[in-house]
């Protein structure tokens, strides 16, 4: 039996050591101090229930007039408050024929929600769609007790009740977010996600991090970042393993974002839940964004032993599933403080696209909506989150929030750069309802989803209005 020579062995060990050092240059020594634990009886206290109203500064219906022309261009939006005009195609969750020509002067967002109606806090409680169970865990679920009637007329909307939560707090570079789940929704038509996004600018200009996201009968999780142009995932230097997952897409500004597929077993679906769930963590550092997953039996000791007030340390966690180093994505430019979102939607531009749907779901008519949303309510018996906790941390060496992302509004204390408390979400009440109301379209949509982000042009109010109408006329031309 031969053994490697000691010098070769040394070379190998030092190579491994160097590789490990090269992995998390920004994270190596930081101590993460606890910021908040969403857990137990207070789990739901610091979230906004979407409840059909969109309060983001760029999505609010009170101050916007928007013109929807799906035909070629998308949507021209006039923000009466700032005078900004932009072109937007971010609307999602819609399988809208691109040839359809529509002119709509909106005073509120068009309800397009992938066949779900997100409930407000009162309904969520009374309909028992969001509650703390006997074990002290948070349950967030899709309605599995109502039988829905088919639409009576063409164009009628029939939605199943679901929940979309947006955190009142936002988390800057330097944050660490850990979620411990016992059960994640799955099944045909089901599209759960736990993600973050910045509300400072219209999606995706303030970034998005998809931490848990999969559909239908997929057997693995997918991680993704969404940004405007200029951020991509760079391949690691030769010989360095920066992540254990498989990169599916490298450019974060594409429709589906820069996707990394999980390769560890039991990261989604029946397998995940049978194994008792697991833990997902995301670190947002100046050096990059890193996402880990462990199935229940593999959770690191320092996470298992932690309480709501423990500090955290990532150095023993090993190679992440997904690693987005700052070499080709400047974190401070693309990721202002992020709000957390937890939701379950149905069908829509990923789960509901016929060929994608049919690739894992063999149902009688091959229709996501007809075979599930209208079907027996028991189709959704597995469509629930059971969450032990979501904990957030801030590194003791977290950088201050860059000035371009610090809001000037006095009602929003998010310019407390470098403080150890999370930043409050912006919005008139100092909190946020969040989002476009429809999930920005994400990974794997091979439909021609209408979306191109939006460059925002500054104009005076009157100029803006003229541009707006002129643009409208030209496009209808």
Provide the binding-site residues for ligand NAG, judged by CB under 6 A: 25-26, 48, 51-53, 55, 93-95, 114-115, 117, 119-120, 123, 144-145, 151, 157-158, 286-287, 326, 330, 347-348, 352, 369, 381, 384, 427-429, 431, 433
Residue closer to ligand NAG by CB (options 115, 306) is: 115
Residue closer to ligand NAG by CB (options 268, 459) is: 268
To the nearest whole angstrom, how small is the minimum distance from the Cβ of residue 151 to ligand NAG?
4
208 is catalytic: yes
196 vs 330: CA distance, rounded Å: 17
Residue closer to ligand NAG by CB (options 232, 306) is: 232
424 is catalytic: no
Q: The tokens 């736990």 sit on which residue?
A: 194
SS (H, E, C) 296-344: HHHCCHHHHCCCCCCCECCCCCCCCCEEEEHHHCCHHHHCCCEEEEEEE
To the nearest whole angstrom, how small is the minimum distance from the Cβ of residue 341 to ligand NAG?
14
Q: Give DSSP secondary structure letters for 418-434.
A: T-SSPEEP-STTSS---
Residue 47 φ then ψ, to 5° = -130, 150
158 vs 142: CA distance, rounded Å: 14
- How far is CA 453 from each of CA 86, 329, 386, 447, 456, rounded to the nearest angstrom? 9, 18, 33, 16, 10
To the nearest whole angstrom, how small is the minimum distance from the Cβ of residue 26 to ligand NAG?
5
- Check: CB of residue 217 under 8 Å from CB of residue 244: no
For residue 394, which of 410, 374, 418 has the smallest C-alpha distance?
418
To the nearest whole angstrom, how small is the minimum distance from the Cβ of residue 306 to ligand NAG?
26
To the nearest whole angstrom, how small is the minimum distance from the Cβ of residue 459 to ligand NAG?
25
To the nearest whole angstrom, how small is the minimum distance from the Cβ of residue 432 to ligand NAG?
6
Q: Is the peptide bond before 204 cis (omega within 30 degrees of 0)?
A: yes
- Check: CB of residue 211 under 8 Å from CB of residue 390: no
To the nearest whole angstrom, how small is the minimum distance from the Cβ of residue 296 to ligand NAG?
19
Q: Give DSSP secondary structure letters for 107-132.
A: SS-----TTEEE--HHHHHHTTSEEE
Residue closer to ligand NAG by CB (options 302, 328) is: 328
Longest Cα separation, the chain: 84
Choice among 39, 96, 201, 208 that is catalytic? 208
Instruction: Copy the structure tokens of residue 342.
Output: 């937890």
Which residue's CB comes closest to ligand NAG? 429
87 vs 90: CA distance, rounded Å: 9
Residue closer to ligand NAG by CB (options 77, 129) is: 129
Sequence-distant (≥ 6) Cβ neighbours of residue 128 within 8 angstroms? none
Residue closer to ligand NAG by CB (options 233, 306) is: 233
For residue 114, which of 154, 144, 157, 145 has the smallest C-alpha distance?
157
Choice among 96, 201, 202, 213 that is catalytic? 213
Residue closer to ligand NAG by CB (options 431, 444) is: 431
Cα 391 to chain centroid, rounded: 16
Residue 44 φ then ψ, to 5° = -85, 0
Q: What residues are annotated to the active site?
A: 208, 213
């Amino acid at each position: 039996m031969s053994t490697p020579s000691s010098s070769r062995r040394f070379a190998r060990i030092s190579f491994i050591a160097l590789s490990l050092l090269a992995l998390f240059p920004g994270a190596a020594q930081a101590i993460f101090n606890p910021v908040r634990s969403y857990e137990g009886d207070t789990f739901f206290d610091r979230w906004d229930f979407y409840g059909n109203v969109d309060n983001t500064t760029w999505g609010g219906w009170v101050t916007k007039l928007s013109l929807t022309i799906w035909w070629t261009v998308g949507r021209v939006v006039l923000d009466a408050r700032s005078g900004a005009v932009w072109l937007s195609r971010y609307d999602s969750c819609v399988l809208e024929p691109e040839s359809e020509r529509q002119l709509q002067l909106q005073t509120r967002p068009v309800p397009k929600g992938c066949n779900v109606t997100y409930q407000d806090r009162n309904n969520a409680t009374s309909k028992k769609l969001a509650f703390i169970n006997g074990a002290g865990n948070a349950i967030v679920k899709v309605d599995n007790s109502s039988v829905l009637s088919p639409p009576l007329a063409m164009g009628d909307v029939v939605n199943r009740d679901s929940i979309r939560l947006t955190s009142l707090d936002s988390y800057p570079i330097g944050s660490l977010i850990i979620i411990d789940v016992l059960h994640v929704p799955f099944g045909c038509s089901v599209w759960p996600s736990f993600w973050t996004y910045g509300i400072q600018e219209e999606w995706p200009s303030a970034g998005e991090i998809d931490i848990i996201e999969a559909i239908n009968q997929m057997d693995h999780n997918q991680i993704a970042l969404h940004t405007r142009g200029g951020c991509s995932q760079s391949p690691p230097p030769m010989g360095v393993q920066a992540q254990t997952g498989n990169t599916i897409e490298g450019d974060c500004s594409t429709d589906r974002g820069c996707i990394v597929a999980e390769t560890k077993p039991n990261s989604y679906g029946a397998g995940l839940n049978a194994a008792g769930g697991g833990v997902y963590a995301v670190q947002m550092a100046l050096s990059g964004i890193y996402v880990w997953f462990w199935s229940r039996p593999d959770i690191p000791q320092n996470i298992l032993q932690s309480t709501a007030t423990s500090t955290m340390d990532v150095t023993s966690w090993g190679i992440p599933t997904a690693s987005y180093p700052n070499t080709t994505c400047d974190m401070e430019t693309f990721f202002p403080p992020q709000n957390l979102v937890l939701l379950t939607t149905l069908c829509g531009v990923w789960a509901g696209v016929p060929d994608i749907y049919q690739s894992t779901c063999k149902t009688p008519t091959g229709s996501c909506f007809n075979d599930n949303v209208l079907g027996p309510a028991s189709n959704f018996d597995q469509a629930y989150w059971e969450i032990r906790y979501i904990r957030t941390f801030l590194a003791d060496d977290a950088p201050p929030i860059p000035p371009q992302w610090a809001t000037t509004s006095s009602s929003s204390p998010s310019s407390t750069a470098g403080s150890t408390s999370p930043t409050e979400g912006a919005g008139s009440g100092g909190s946020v309802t969040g989002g476009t109301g429809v999930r920005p379209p994400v990974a794997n949509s091979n439909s021609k989803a209408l979306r191109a982000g939006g460059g925002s042009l500054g104009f005076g109010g009157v100029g803006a209005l003229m541009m707006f109408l002129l643009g409208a006329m030209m496009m209808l031309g």
